[in-house]
Amino acid sequence: MKKLFLFIILLGQMWAQSGPYQQFLDFMNTPGGRILEIEFYQEQNGERYESNGTFYYMGKHHYTFDAHDQRMTYNRGDLTTINKLGKQVILDSAIPGDVTIFDILTGENDAVEIGEPLLEKSGFRIPFTLSEWDINGKIMTNHGSGQPREIIMRLSSSDSLSIKIISAEPLGNRAVGEIDLSEYETIDLRE
């Protein structure tokens, strides 16, 4: 009986704090940004793609994923994709109002529907739906801190995307390294 009472008190304290999704947003949007080492897995049309790299999160409107073969940067609506192996740069613009996977990180788009968080042994499971794309997923976070451990999305019955967060630290004074693009072909898709 005493253990049940202590569990109820602990549970009440956890829910009295901000909700698990808000804790996740607060963790990601810490002043100064975050740097995350991630493993990225995608299954699509029976093919499996794996990558790992560094995700620099400088704020709600500026982030970069840097891997050995490519770099993708979003900066206030401008998209830059650098194919390091093919020596190609693609410049594009986000379409206003479009839903992106990164809307999960910012919490700014109403098209991201957050479900009821589930308390699990190792943290919280926060279900979400991207209604425009009919995508379901979940964010796995640590208790209390909101630090993400994994983000999983079901794109269809056979297609999925998984991002495992290996480490997460404040960005501090670290910056995304420069790439000499003088020998790269540039394709500008901006209108």
Q: What is the CATH code of the structural domain delimited by 18-188?
A: 2.50.20.10
One pLDDT digit (tens) per residue for the chain, 191 residues: 444 333 444 444 444 446 999 999 999 999 999 999 999 899 988 899 999 999 999 988 899 999 999 999 999 889 999 999 999 999 999 887 676 666 777 777 677 889 999 999 999 999 998 877 788 999 999 998 999 999 999 988 888 999 999 999 999 989 999 999 999 999 999 87
Can you read off the two tokens belonging to residue 16?
């009295």
Can you read off the two tokens belonging to residue 121?
């042994």
- pTM comes to 0.82
Give the model's pLDDT for residue 101: 66
Give the model's pLDDT for residue 53: 95
Choose among 27, 35, 171: nearest CA to 106.
27
Domain ranges of the chain: 18-188
Give the model's pLDDT for residue 184: 97
Q: 33, 56 in Cβ contact below 8 A?
A: yes
| Calpha distance 149→169 (Å, rounded) | 13
Give the model's pLDDT for residue 137: 93
SS3 category, 159 = coil
Give the model's pLDDT for residue 131: 76
Q: 80, 89 in Cβ contact below 8 A?
A: yes
Residue type, 21: Y
Give the model's pLDDT for residue 191: 76
| Calpha distance 49→37 (Å, rounded) | 17
Q: 53, 68 in Cβ contact below 8 A?
A: yes
Can you read off the two tokens belonging to residue 18?
């901000």
SS3 category, 32 = coil
As a whole number of angstroms, the longest Cα–Cα distance in the chain is 71
Contacts 24+ apart (CB under 8 A), 150-159: 151/104, 153/101, 155/44, 158/43, 158/45, 158/46, 159/42, 159/43, 159/44, 159/45
Give the model's pLDDT for residue 12: 45
Residue type, 178: E
